[in-house]
Every structure is written in C-alpha cells, then in structure tokens.
Chain A
C-alpha cells in the first residue's frame, strides 16, 4: 500500500474516535469531552490534508500528475475532508461542540467506504482524456463543498427531530444539552444556503466542462438531471422558508430529503441507464 492511502485509512479511525468523543459529550453533557473530540477531528483533518498533498506529489512522481480529485476514491476522501473542514469552521464560529455527534460520523462513513470497500480502487490512476480539464477540478471542489454543507444540514435536521422528542423536565437529559431549536433551525438554514450556492457553482462549472468536453453544456444525462433535481429540492426548501415562513420540523425533514437526493446524485445514478459515452 502506498503511504498516502495508509495515512488515509488511519484518518478513518481518527474520525471514528472523534465521533465517539462527540457522542460522549452529547450524552453526558460534560464539557470535558468536547475539546478532545474537536482536537481529534482537527488532527484528523490535518493528517488528511497532509495525505492529500502527498498523494498529489506522488502522482507527479509517477509522471501522471493531477490533483487528487479524479475518481470515486479521491472524491469520497475529499467529501469527508470538506465535511470536517466546514464543520470545524462552524464549530469555531458558534462555539458549541454539541453537534459533532451527528456530523463527524458522516465523514467517518465516507472515509471507511473509500478505504475499506472492495469496490473502491484507491490506486493513483492516470487521467483519461475526458478528465484532463481544469474545469473538472473546480467542478469537483465546488460540488463537494456543497454536498458537505448539505451533509451538515442533514445532521442538524436529525438533531432537530431528536430535540423535538424533548418534553418538559422528565425527558432524556441529554436532549437538554442540545442547542435550542431556533438555533438549530438557523444553523441548518445557513448550511443549506452555503450548500445551495456551492451546488449552483458546481452545476455551472460542470456545464462549462461539459461544453468543452462533449459539445453541449447540458445534455440531460442522469447525473446532470439528478443534480438539477437536488437543486430544485433545495430551491423549493428555500422558497417555503422565505415566502411561506416554514420553519423547524418541516425544514428538518426537507434537509434530510435533500440529502437523500444528494446521495442519489452521487451514488445512485450509476444504476440508471446512462447515455453518455465518457470514453
């Protein structure tokens, strides 16, 4: 195994550890665990960034240099990276460590899928002609930042629904440690907004790439169509909030539905009949 994939598979365990600490923090409500969890997540992020740079350098040493954003393995790794990166920024800005238990596990799962699934090839492969485009790099980066923001919104949606179980003093104590519903709703909305802007950018950069690679900025192939569907789901969500004033539970559910659509755009599309010849 090459060194970068070894580091990346260790990062998987680091995120697992961080998730566990976040859960301790959430369930016990003890501030004590929080800094641990954040610190471990940060250490994982740094190690992961290092491994990504290493992978980039290695690809150049192999004479097939390209940014590590070109296949399923690399995109999963970048997805996890973006989730942790955005999450830590959010944590730093809102100064509460109660949300990681529902966000970092996603990063762990994507890393674990990338590192340990037999369907995912972790080798550094050269770029086939269609992928040799700088637009592809900006496309992948913007899309996955968007997906990461939607992942956080989905995690917050789950927390919101969980918080909804709280009834008076008698209910499970750990629910009390979660942020207030208004705060969750606001945070989730911000994540959706960030995700929406990045997804829009991702669709645009993707069409520019398509325009230079296969002759049409939009050809309704399943992946494009599903990214449009995802975009429409979030657009309806934003409209129901802006104009109809929907808040709370409905939004939480919509952020989960939106994320399901993201996952389908990413993974599910491969099972649909495709038309594009991507060489």
Chain B
C-alpha cells in the first residue's frame, strides 16, 4: 500500500498530468470571471449552474480547496522524485572513475589520436599540466607502458534540476505563507478625511489598522495631449495623532508603513463634497458660505436650522442642486436649490406652481442661491502585507540559476591515455558527457588542438 502510494507520487506521468490539469484549470479560471469583489454579474448563466459553480468554488478558483490540493500534490510529487533521485546524482557528482578504463578507448576514430616523437617524460609533464589547468579532479595511473589520466568538468550540472525543482517548492511555500499570514485590502479616502478601517479583498470583511491614514490631497497631472501623467496622493499616517510618516504616494512607487505596503490604485471624485451657497434676506446683502454634506447653519431671525441633506451633481438632468432641510417653528420644509434655476424656469413656465419646493425663495423672506458644487477627489489605495514575497524572490533567483545550470552546463568526463610504442608516444583522447553532444565534440577538438600545440608542434 505504502509502496503504491510512493510509486504513484514519484511517477513522472503524475507530474505531466498535474502540469496539464493545472494548465487546464487555469484556462477555466480565465474564462469564468473570478469574483474578487463580488458584484460581478453572472446573469447569462442559469441559477442552477451558478450554484454548481459556487459549490465547486469556481468563482474563486485559485484559492479553492481543490486547487490547493493540486498544488500540494505537485509539491509532494516533486519532493518524492527528488528524494528518490538525489542519491544517484550525488554518486555521479562524487565518483571518480578509474583513469585506466579501456572501454572509452574502444572504436575511437583516428582523429582522436596524436603521435609524437618528443621525449616521453616531457610529453607526460606537458599533458599533465594541461589537464590540471583545464579540468578538475585530475587522476593519474601509471602501468608498464601506459599512463592514464582522468579529468572532469561541470560535475555540478547534475544539481541544476534539483535547484529548479527546489525553487518551485520555494514558490509554492512563499505563496502559501503569503496567503496565510498576509493580507490584501483596499480603501477609498476622500481628500481631507482619514480612516483606519480597510476592506479585505475577496469579501473577507474589514481590518482595523493600528494607525490612521489621512489623505491630505489627491492630484492628477496631465500630458499636453490630455493623457494622465501622474497620480499623486499626499498621505499622512498618524498614530495617537502624531504623524509617523508623511509623503506622496505615486503609481509604481509604493510606500511601506509599519510593514504594510500602500499603493496608488485608483481614484474618483465625490460629487458635492462641498457646495457654495448664498443666502439673501429680502433686499439685503447676500452672504456666501461654503458647506459640506450634512452641515447645518442657523437663521437667527426665523429660528430656523438649515441642514444640507443632499448634494447632487446633476439632479434630474437639470444640473447641480442641493437639498436643504429647514426646521423652524413654521414646520419642516424641504427645498431643492438649483444652480441653473433661471434657465430651468424659462424652460418650464409654471415651475414654481407645479413644484413649489424648487422655488429658492419659498422660505420667505430668504432667498437661496447655489453658486457651485465642488467635487472632491478620493484616492483609492491598495494595501498589502505579504511575508511570502521575499521567499518568492529567493525562488526566482534560484530558478534562473537552476535553469542556467541545467541547460548550459554539462558533466564532461575525459580520459587521456599515453601509450609508448617504439620510441613514439601515442596520445588517445576520449570523453563522455551527460548532455550536449555538440558541445562535447567541440571541447574534444579544442583539447586536441592544444595537445598538438603542446607536444607535437611546439
């Protein structure tokens, strides 16, 4: 039982199957909209299907139980395979074959042989120093008429695959740590306002920060052609009413405060953040005041309290308007004050008869006038803390190293034999490699050229 489980986990068929299943699942995930914020519409699907998808967690697939199980299987598969194979690779790395093996020298093509009449001791010395310079673990073995050398290069190439696979495990663990111990959230803060409560992504509720974020100002700079050039939020981070950090936040330049990274993610404007209205009593002077939503002011003579209960950028296609709620001994009165009341009145002659509450002079003897509505920006911030990110970065570094080792290095083992025959020395060269036969051939040619220069020509 244990055996079958292990052999299942160590099979490469499982690996390829998992890679393909994960690829297919990911394709599915790009077709079915993934519901991070909710509010995504699935109206074109039937309710039954939506429920089926929901129970399979298809709307948040990459965080679903089954996707995580796939990832775990993949990791287990990798671990089991690596553990199984590693001793073999280690042996290949450590083992030094005997220099005087005869097998490498069977059936050698004639161009692997050099013949020299130079003094034997000199030949041996030169060959040995050449090999020592160019190869590792050079071993020599002397027999009656023969001296054999062994040297090798790139034995570390057996580990490239392990480094790649290890970095994939590092990725997976970094991602797990990030999703277990990190969080992602967003918050919109209007200019001048502050908050310490942010909404977690994927409908996980809210989170309270142990400091307060205030948006002092949001601004956009434009290029000449009208495209946006810069989004900038001036933020203050406050703890116990003391600023712990203050500065601008720009796209591509996140700010880290108390281990939480803040990003400029979006922006918008809140219509009617503030309005400017004028109040005139009879034929007197008008006074102009700036008000915000839910502000109220007091009209002394009439003992009236006026509250701004709504501010609209465009009410019923008639332009900006504010709703005044007037409480006085005369009773309660609601009054819509339009900015463009003159034009509206021209278009609809008996407007004030039909809709008295559009009459800015209804609350006699006062006359209200809306000068303008100023909209206010809010900045959309994205927050995250991801303790796994640095682990993933380490994985990225190692996967590149691993790929380079696995694909561009090879373990080349070289045998050189010097045979004495009637005053001549016959030098024979052969080599093997675990990959890249073309590179190996080039290396042998290269070595032969150097040997020739060292012992035949020079």
Tell me, rounded to whole Å, the shortest Cβ–Cβ distance linking B241 to chain A: 28
CA distance A218 to B223 in the complex (A): 30
B251 touches A216 (CB 8 A): no
CA distance A53 to B43 in the complex (A): 50
Contact string against B for A residues 108-134, beta-carbon threshold 8 Å, 1 for contact and 0 otherwise: 000000000000000001101110110
State how many residues of chain A have any CB contact under 8 Å with chain B.
44
CB neighbours of A186 from chain B (8 A)? 438
Given contacts A201-B400, A236-B19, contact A215 B383 (CB under 8 A): yes
CB neighbours of A204 from chain B (8 A)? 396, 399-400
CA distance A207 to B388 in the complex (A): 13
Given contacts A126-B225, A235-B19, A279-B231, contact A225 B175 (CB under 8 A): no
B403 touches A200 (CB 8 A): yes
B29 in contact (CB, < 8 A): yes
Q: Which residue of A lies closest to B395 (CB)?
A: A204
CB neighbours of B223 from chain A (8 A)? 64, 126
For chain A residues 187-215, which have a beta carbon within 8 Å of chain B? 193, 196-197, 200-201, 204, 207, 211-215
B407 touches A197 (CB 8 A): yes
A96 in contact (CB, < 8 A): no
CB neighbours of B400 from chain A (8 A)? 197, 200-201, 204
A132 touches B252 (CB 8 A): yes
CA distance A31 to B212 in the complex (A): 75
Tell me, rounded to whole Å, the shortest Cβ–Cβ distance linking B396 to chain A: 4
CA distance A228 to B29 in the complex (A): 12
Looking at B15, B30, B384, which has the most chain A CB atoms within 10 Å of its CB? B30
Query: B29's contact among A197, A216, A220, A235, by CB below 8 Å, is which?
Result: A220
Q: Which residue of A lies closest to B231 (CB)?
A: A129
CA distance A129 to B265 in the complex (A): 11
Given contacts A197-B407, A236-B19, A277-B265, contact A216 B252 (CB under 8 A): no
Query: A272's contact among B30, B228, B253, B263, by CB below 8 Å, is which?
Result: B30
Given contacts A213-B263, A214-B263, A218-B175, contact A196 B403 (CB under 8 A): yes
For chain A residues 23-53, which have a beta carbon within 8 Å of chain B? none
List the one stretch of A2-10, A146-154, A157-165, A238-246 in contact with chain B. Answer: A238-246
CA distance A125 to B231 in the complex (A): 18
B263 touches A277 (CB 8 A): no
Contact string against B for A residues 252-279, beta-carbon threshold 8 Å, 1 for contact and 0 otherwise: 0000000000000000010011010101
A217 in contact (CB, < 8 A): yes
A233 in contact (CB, < 8 A): yes
B52 in contact (CB, < 8 A): no
B34 touches A128 (CB 8 A): no
B103 in contact (CB, < 8 A): no
Tell me, rounded to whole Å, the shortest Cβ–Cβ distance linking A45 to chain B: 25
Query: A129's contact among B229, B399, B438, by CB below 8 Å, is which?
Result: B229
Tell me, rounded to whole Å, the shortest Cβ–Cβ distance linking B388 to chain A: 9
Query: A275's contact among B23, B33, B392, by CB below 8 Å, is which?
Result: B33
B12 in contact (CB, < 8 A): yes
B316 in contact (CB, < 8 A): no
A236 touches B34 (CB 8 A): no
A145 in contact (CB, < 8 A): no
Query: B16's contact among A211, A236, A275, by CB below 8 Å, is which?
Result: A236
B230 in contact (CB, < 8 A): yes
CB neighbours of A218 from chain B (8 A)? 175
How many chain B residues sit at the interface, stated as a range, is 35 or more
A222 in contact (CB, < 8 A): yes
CA distance A235 to B389 in the complex (A): 23
Query: A126's contact among B229, B384, B399, by CB below 8 Å, is which?
Result: B229
Given contacts A229-B27, A233-B23, A275-B36, contact A200 B399 (CB under 8 A): yes
Query: A244's contact among B12, B36, B264, B392, by CB below 8 Å, is which?
Result: B12
For chain B residues 218-263, which have a beta carbon within 8 Å of chain A? 223, 225, 227-231, 250-254, 261, 263
B344 in contact (CB, < 8 A): no
A213 touches B252 (CB 8 A): yes
A226 in contact (CB, < 8 A): yes
Q: Which residue of B lies closest to A230 (CB)?
A: B23
CA distance A269 to B30 in the complex (A): 9
For chain B residues 426-458, which have a beta carbon within 8 Å of chain A? 438
Contact string against A for B residues 191-203, beta-carbon threshold 8 Å, 1 for contact and 0 otherwise: 0000000000000
A272 touches B19 (CB 8 A): no
B382 touches A239 (CB 8 A): no
Tell me, rounded to whole Å, the shortest Cβ–Cβ distance linking A278 to chain B: 10
CB neighbours of A130 from chain B (8 A)? 251-252
A277 touches B12 (CB 8 A): no
B289 in contact (CB, < 8 A): no
Given contacts A228-B26, A279-B251, contact A215 B227 (CB under 8 A): no
Given contacts A204-B400, A215-B263, A277-B265, contact A272 B31 (CB under 8 A): yes
B12 touches A197 (CB 8 A): no
B184 touches A240 (CB 8 A): no
Q: Give A residues with C-beta under 8 Å from B.
A: 64, 125-126, 128-130, 132-133, 186, 193, 196-197, 200-201, 204, 207, 211-218, 220, 222, 225-226, 228-229, 232-233, 235-236, 239-240, 243-244, 269, 272-273, 275, 277, 279
Sample 24 A-B pairs with CB under 8 A, ordered by A number.
A126-B223, A126-B227, A126-B229, A128-B227, A128-B228, A129-B251, A133-B252, A200-B399, A214-B265, A215-B184, A215-B265, A215-B382, A217-B389, A217-B392, A225-B26, A226-B26, A228-B23, A229-B27, A232-B22, A236-B19, A239-B16, A240-B16, A277-B265, A277-B266
Known A126-B227, A133-B252, A218-B175; 8 more pairs at CB < 8 Å: A125-B225, A128-B229, A129-B252, A132-B251, A197-B400, A197-B407, A207-B392, A220-B29
Per CB-CB distance, the 4 closest pairs between chain A and chain B, nearest first, are: A129-B251, A215-B263, A232-B23, A215-B382
Q: Give B residues with C-beta under 8 Å from A.
A: 12, 15-16, 19-20, 22-23, 26-27, 29-31, 33-34, 36, 62, 175, 184, 223, 225, 227-231, 250-254, 261, 263-266, 382-384, 386, 389, 392, 396, 399-400, 403-404, 407, 438
